[in-house]
Amino acid sequence: MKIYTDKFIKHKVQQIVKSHETNDPFIICKKFNISILYSSLGKVDGFLQYYEEEDHYLIHVNNSCKNKSYIIAHETGHYFLHKNLNAFKLSNCSVLLKDKLEQQANIFATELILTDKMLLDALPIIRNLTKENVASYFKVPLFVAEQKISLFRNTTEHIINLNSRIAFG
């Protein structure tokens, strides 16, 4: 089993966005023939399922979930990074491994719905905004803005001195 770095995941997302000319998880699912089904899933926000008889992937999304596009992006991350793994079997073997797979899918989702290009293009507008305002500006959950800003700083600080240009307080 491969353990992916944050950098690998970012590049994987950039390749997908570039080749399909979108970062919209709904459109990407459509292009890869991944069906999205909405239903009551209890406490589960969503999950990726492989339907072997039809050689088809399904993303199940909880009707009551507020951040449906993030959940779909997250499950799409599992598709691109982990589709050859039996996640249910692995989660029963190791909580740490399950957590790592979830973390990787979270990074994938964050990189997909809030790209570096989006941040760079909006830099003149967002440079003095709080994290909450950045999340509102891009219409993403606060945790996505927080994670992306953290990842963005770690990977671009040598290019742009973000601490002096952006006051994400």
pLDDT, one tens digit per residue, over 100-138 is 899 999 999 999 999 999 999 999 999 889 999 999 999
pLDDT, one tens digit per residue, over 41-55 is 999 999 999 988 988
65 or 95: whose pLDDT is higher? Answer: 65
Please give the model's pTM, rounded to 2 decimal places: 0.85
H helix or E strand, kind and range, residue 59: strand 56-62
Q: Which residues are catalytic?
A: 75
156 or 141: whose pLDDT is higher? Answer: 141
CA dihedral (36, 42, 43, 46) in degrees, to 10, reads -10
- Please name every residue paired with 35 in a beta bridge, in sequence order, or none if there are none: 58
Look-up of token digits 């590049």: 11
Question: Is-contact 57 50, C-beta < 8 A?
Answer: yes
Going along the chain from its start, the domains and CATH numbers come out as 6-113 (1.10.10.2910), 116-161 (no CATH)
3-state secondary structure string across 9-45: HHHHHHHHHHHHCCCCHHHHHHHCCCEEEEECCCCCC
